[in-house]
Chain A
Amino acid sequence: MLKNYFKIAIAVLKRRKFFTFISLFGISFTLTIMMVLAAFIENVIGNDYPDRKRDRSLYITSMEERGKNAMSSGSPSFYFLNKYAATLKTPAKISICSNGGNSTNTYVNNKKIAINYKYTDANYWDILEYDFVEGKAFDAQQVKNGEHVAVISEGLKKEYFGDIPSVVGKYIEADNVQYRISGVVKNVPITTYMLYSDIYIPYTVSKIDYLNKDYQGGYIAILLAASKADLQKISNEYDDVMKRVPMENKDFDHMNCRAESYMRSFLNTGNEDSSGLTEALTAIGVFTLIVMLLPTINLININVTRIMERSSEIGVRKAFGASSKTLVYQFIVENLILTLLGGLIGIILSYIIIQIINSADLIPYFVIKMNLMVLLIALLICFVFGLFSGVYPAWRMSKLNVVTALKEQ
């Protein structure tokens, strides 16, 4: 029986090319958008290189100071973090680094290239698990001495030196300073913006940054807990410390600077009262709903009119022995085949688009993948989709009286 439904469905789809095209287009297009979006989100959020200990880390990335007539927000300063965060007792390790977004120019064969640089301490290399292609990180002693050493990304190595096997010990110039390369790491996608950089150098090299006594100043801190259970303890200790921090000046009466999970700090909106996470999730949810709702309604609509168009067929089938139930099955199967076909096309289309995005290198070092989960969810959505848009029209149709169905032409 199922085989026959299948045969009928294919025959109908083949004969009604326009309808089939519209439906398939609607479904596959929607799904493609969803899948590419999901792959993006999945990658941005789910990519845990190089912070593989993300689930037992807290991040201090933003600070907000408020007063009656003043309000200032930005990243905390090295001074602030060094004084209040680095002194915490509960974290297993603490690292302070500049928050990225610093860039400078360098010259290769008289060609200007823009590079991002990041100041870090030695702990940075312990907390984060960068993959070293060659060499190693700079150590605490080198940081203390303010040595001009650097870790660079694979991408920069290629751009600056070309295809040569080893660059450790060679010098790279940035901002008119020569740095000796101590290691090369795998690229971090720019979407992991807190940790992304082309070149990493000891914070002590920057004379201005770390001596500045303002509370705000372009740095972040990463607090690593010995275990997940310790996260709450760290959070409590930090909050206690924060309560006792004096205001920076009398314009402000209130300060907000949280130690948060990666996700929260990643999505931080700067609004002290709501976490960015809920807002982001709600936005994604609403968007998904709208994106999926439109084609569903459209498909139901097309299906209802089409079923009325097919009333003669329904009448004939009933006259020759199809029960209402059988007809409902037939129409649902037809719809499922249509949507699953649309799903298949959507998956292929997404795959192609993702390949194009990756190969076009639109976003530096960002490679998105379709993962199995996204694929399964997409198929599930298709299935639910097919069921929903099929059930109502099928039910309407099964209620049709044979004689009336046959009369309508």
Chain B
Amino acid sequence: MIRLQNIEKVYRTDTVETLALNSISLDIAKGEFLSIMGPSGCGKSTLLNIIGLLDIPTKGEIKIDEQKTDSLSDKQLANFRNKKLGFIFQSYHLINDLKVLDNVELPLLYRESSAKERKDLASEALGKVGLSNRVKHFPTQLSGGQKQRVAIARAIVGRPEIILADEPTGNLDSTMGNEVMDILLNLNKSDGTTIVMVTHDENMAKKTHRLVRLFDGSQVQ
């Protein structure tokens, strides 16, 4: 499903060059739940962003569904992300100006869909994460765990084949973290969604199919 070949990422600032990723090759199968671990600053987020086509590698190639991604235009990239990918961030990144329901509808705005369809799909997604009773709230009126569940609803509303989660439980206590983890596991099992998750928590990683460890930009396992 996802194939990374010799991915290298170098950050250049005025004075220093950081080699954030060093020759990473990775195959992720359809329906796989993969976790990425490693110490802070080892390049986990960078790798996830590159898989999610949010960032461009300095060297190497990413293929998703046998399709090369390096020559896509801004519009094609946008379309690709919209259809295939769903993101979950450590700090939720909900839009505070919009109500919960409108936040969840967001990915559907960028594809053909009617207002009713959007509403139905968003309500359904919120149902899956157990937040049907919070649609009219604003994000600032929610707890951290609720926010992250809204973020998950937003990530799954467009039924993407791949979900990329960067420390989805990083800001949550263990109970809430487990709730969120259960939702992801269930999503992977019942819908066959491919999930790549960055985590610091060994217990969470143990529940996934496969674990990739990074150290200083290199793959160690």
Contact = CB atoms under 8 A, between A and B. Distances in A.
Contacts of B110: 317, 320-323, 326
A399 to B, nearest CB: 11
Interface in A366-409: 401-403, 406, 409
Contacts of A8: 97-98
A325 B54 CA distance: 16
* Contact residues of B: prevailing secondary structure: mixed
A16 interface: yes
Interface string A306-344: 000000110111111111111000000000000000000
A348 B111 CA distance: 39
Nearest to A327: B78
A402 B55 CA distance: 8
Interface stretch (B63-71, B85-93, B173-181, B188-196): B85-93
A9 to B, nearest CB: 10
B49 A321 contact: no
Interface in A1-34: 1, 3-4, 7-8, 11-12, 15-16
A315 B92 CA distance: 12
B96 interface: yes
Given A4-B109, A403-B49, A322 B78 contact: yes
A239 B109 CA distance: 73
B95 A321 contact: no
B149 interface: no
Nearest to A404: B55
Contacts of B77: 323
B78 A323 contact: yes
Interface residues of B, number: 33
A7 B97 CA distance: 11
B55 A403 contact: yes
Interface string B36-69: 0000000000000100101100000000000000
Contacts of B83: 321
B154 interface: yes
Contact of B91 (A1, A318, A401, A409): A409
B9 to A, nearest CB: 11
B97 A15 contact: yes
Contacts of A15: 96-97
Nearest to A315: B93
Contacts of B107: 320-321
A34 to B, nearest CB: 31
B80 to A, nearest CB: 8
A319 B87 contact: yes
Contacts of A406: 54, 89, 93
Contacts of B212: none
B211 interface: no
B3 interface: no
Nearest to A317: B106
Interface in A70-112: none
Interface in B98-142: 98-99, 102, 106-107, 109-111, 115
Contacts of B82: 320-321
Contacts of B95: 312-313, 316
Contacts of B102: 7, 11
A8 B102 CA distance: 9
Given A403-B54, A406-B89, A326 B98 contact: no
A395 to B, nearest CB: 14
A12 B97 contact: yes
Given A8-B98, A402-B54, A403-B55, A320 B93 contact: no
Interface in B141-173: 154, 158
**Which one of A1, A7, A320 has the greatest number of beta carbons of chain B within 10 Å?**
A320
Contact of B75 (A3, A11, A323, A401): A323
A182 to B, nearest CB: 72
Nearest to B91: A409
B74 interface: yes
B97 A11 contact: yes
B81 interface: yes
Given A8-B98, A403-B55, A318 B78 contact: yes
B97 A16 contact: yes
A326 B106 contact: no
B79 interface: yes
Contacts of A1: 109
B106 to A, nearest CB: 6
Nearest to B112: A1
Contact of B81 (A313, A319, A401, A409): A319
A181 to B, nearest CB: 70
B139 to A, nearest CB: 11
Given A11-B102, A324-B74, 16 more contacts: A1-B109, A7-B102, A8-B97, A11-B98, A12-B97, A313-B95, A316-B106, A318-B54, A319-B52, A320-B81, A320-B87, A321-B78, A323-B77, A402-B49, A402-B55, A403-B49
12 contacts: A3-B115, A11-B102, A312-B95, A315-B93, A321-B82, A321-B107, A321-B110, A323-B74, A326-B110, A401-B55, A403-B54, A409-B91
Interface of B: 49, 52, 54-55, 74-75, 77-79, 81-83, 85-87, 89, 91, 93-99, 102, 106-107, 109-111, 115, 154, 158
> Which 10 pairs from chain A and chain B are nearest by CB?
A321-B82, A323-B78, A321-B110, A320-B107, A15-B97, A402-B54, A323-B75, A316-B93, A12-B97, A313-B95
Interface of A: 1, 3-4, 7-8, 11-12, 15-16, 312-313, 315-326, 401-403, 406, 409
